[in-house]
Structure 1
Amino acid sequence: MFIPLHDAVELKYIRVQYVTIGIIVVNVLAWLFTAIASPEAVEHASLGLGFIPAVIFDYAILDPSLVIVPDDATFITYAFLHMDFWHLASNMLFLWVFGDNVEDALGHMRFLVFYLLCAAAGAAVHGFVAPSAEGPLIGASGAISGVVAAYFLLHPRVRVWVLVLFRIPLPLPAFIPLAAWILQQFVMLALDMDGVVSWGAHVGGIITGAILVLVMRRPGVPLFDREIVTPKAVIPKSGAANVVTASE
């Protein structure tokens, strides 16, 4: 539907988004490993680290030779594996654009906990929707969905540059593309429960992210930020009147 390109919300409480950068680095390194490894190693990693509902809910047993971490740990480990470069790139781009401001609002350690809880919730809802599924769930989409939901509640009026329909760059208030994206996840969960994309993981992350940001944000950090920030890519014409931020 859209690709986020840039927002202009300045960091207020932290100087560098260390956790966001660290998560991106770990995901990239994990993908590089799978990119250069043999197909057998990739399959082993997907089965041993991916979230398999049938194994979690005792509909099936994973071959002991494929086990890498305890079953319960796959609620987290699945979120650091990706199918291909574009799967990785899309998730990491969303995290890069929106993660720093959520990390700023929560703090470094709370953001890390927030991210992992959203990932776990995404896996849980995926398992609830398809408890007997034997294919491994991989990808950071559940966690990223939680980040998007938190950003939506924190900065709905901030303008974000997005690539609409993958070709038209537009600066839009964040609530327009994000609300449409969030609604799409719920609609697709209802219409495409057996599809390749795990809409359940997305919905689980969204609900969890929206709830957690209410209780995990720093004291004094408001929801529905009233300040309207003009993207840095928009340069006022010489002599034009100064832009006045709206507040109430």
Structure 2
Amino acid sequence: MIPLSDDNPTLRTPVVTYLLLAVIGATWVLVQGAGLNMRTLVSSVCDLGLVPGELTGQAPPGFRVLLGPGLPCVVDNDPINRFTPITSMFLHGGWGHLVGNCLFFWVFGNNVEDSMGRLRFLVFYLVCGLAAAAAQVAVDPSSPIPMVGASGAISGIMGAYLILYPRVRVNMLFIFFIIFRIIPLPAWAVLLWWFGLQILTGLPQLNRLQAEGGVAVWAHVGGFVAGVVLVKLFENHALTAQRSRWRHRLHPDHP
């Protein structure tokens, strides 16, 4: 299932959502070479991605992880490592990774920003991203494998959306072989299904013998939980009340 849009108009232009998407896109092109050069891509992931074992000191310096043919990532003690929980939020491992994250952010981010205000939303995004990074590090603190992607912070946005707009319809694209169909579903069903899938996918990673590289699903879980827990601290009640009245006028029959 792929979210395409929601039936949830905004009061104000989501400036921060657009800005973050622009920064993510610019980072992909200017820092990561748009994925066109594997050496540039691997270098960016290795140098600016979050390596749990580097942060905790549990991965031995000099340990090598192959991120591509003849392209190792070496554990080090570079001072930049302390900033990788932030820098890693703006990096991606490939076009599919980038487009998927941006699509989810495009669908869910604007309404959460509209309910918090711009500055609160920016801080909320970064806090959820840091919580996501902390969750992944806690699951495998000695891992020498770099973690990159905006998905942890975006998971926090999705958690916030679940609390703020559980009954809003989200238009989901279903693909079954050659059959394509768009089906509107309530946000609570979409988001809880997604969260449950992350839990099921991540359970094998709790067994240290099975922990490998791949999708950092516990970052998704940590970001989502942070979003659910923190959203009410960041919500601007005046904005949400104004949105509620406006939506009711536009769609009196919708929840």
Q: Which amino acid aligns with 2:87?
A: T
Identify the match of residue 149 of structure 2 among 130, 139, 143: 139
Partner residue in 2 for 1:90: 100
Displacement of 1:30:
1.4
CA drift of 1:71 comes to: 2.1
Q: Structure 1 vs Structure 2: percent identity of aligned residues?
A: 37
Q: Is residue 213 of structure 1 aligned with residue 231 of structure 2?
A: yes
Q: Secondary structure at the match of 1:171?
A: strand
Q: Which residue of 1 aligns with 2:200?
A: 187
**Quick one: which amino acid aligns to residue 91 of structure 2?**
L
**How far off its partner does 1:47 sit?**
1.5
Q: Does the 8 Å CA contact 1:157/1:226 hold for their aligned counterparts? A: no
After TM superposition, list the pairs within 5 Å mapping 1:152-163 onto structure 2.
152-163=162-173
Pick from 115, 121, 145 the counterpart of residue 125 of structure 2: 115
How far does residue 221 in structure 1 lie from its aligned partner after superposition?
A: 5.6
Q: 1:90 and 1:246 mapped to 2: Cα distance?
A: 28
TM-score (norm 2): 0.81
Q: How far did 1:192 drift? A: 4.3
Could you tell me whether the CA contact under 8 Å between 1:54 and 1:133 is conserved in 2?
yes
- SS of the counterpart of 2:237? coil
- Give yes or no for the alignment of 1:202 onto 2:220: yes
Kindly tell me: are residues 36 and 82 of structure 1, through their superposed partners in 2, closer, same or farther at Cα, counting changes over 3 Å? Answer: closer
* Other-structure match for 2:25: 28
Report the counterpart of residue 183 of structure 2 in structure 1.
Answer: 170
CA distance in 2, matches of 1:94, 1:106: 18
Structure 1 distance, partners of 2:129, 2:137, is 12
Which residue of 77, 92, 105 corresponds with 2:87? 77
When structure 1 is superposed on structure 2, of 184-193 and 207-216 the one drifting more is 184-193
Summarize deviations over 1:108-165 as a string: whole Å, max 9, x none: 0111111111111111110000111101000111011001111111111111111134
Distance, in Å, in 2 between the alignment partners of 1:220 and 1:207 is 24
2:71 maps to what in 1? none
Measured in 1, the distance between the counterparts of 2:101 and 2:26 equals: 14
Closer/same/farther in 2, CA of residues 226 and 38 from structure 1, 3 Å limit: closer
Q: Distance in 2 between matches of 1:50 and 1:156?
A: 33
Tell which deviates more after alignment, 184-193 or 170-179. Answer: 184-193
Shift of 1:172: 1.2
Q: Specify whether residues 94 and 109 from structure 1 end up closer, same or farther in structure 2 by C-alpha distance, changes over 3 A only.
A: same
DSSP 3-state at the match of 2:58: coil
Q: Give the aligned partner of residue 238 of structure 1.
A: none
Contact 2:114 2:239 in 1 (8 A): no
1:11 is paired with a residue of what secondary structure? coil
Distance 2:163 2:113 in 1: 14
Q: Which runs of 5+ in 1 are unaligned?
A: 233-242
Task: List per-residue Cα deviations over 1:85-127 (Å, max 9, x = no partner).
Answer: 1110000000001000000111101111111111111111100
CA-based RMSD of the aligned residues comes to 2.5
Listed as ranges, the gaps of 5+ residues in structure 2 are: 62-74
Partner of 2:139: 129
Aligned match of 1:17 in 14, 18, 21? Answer: 14
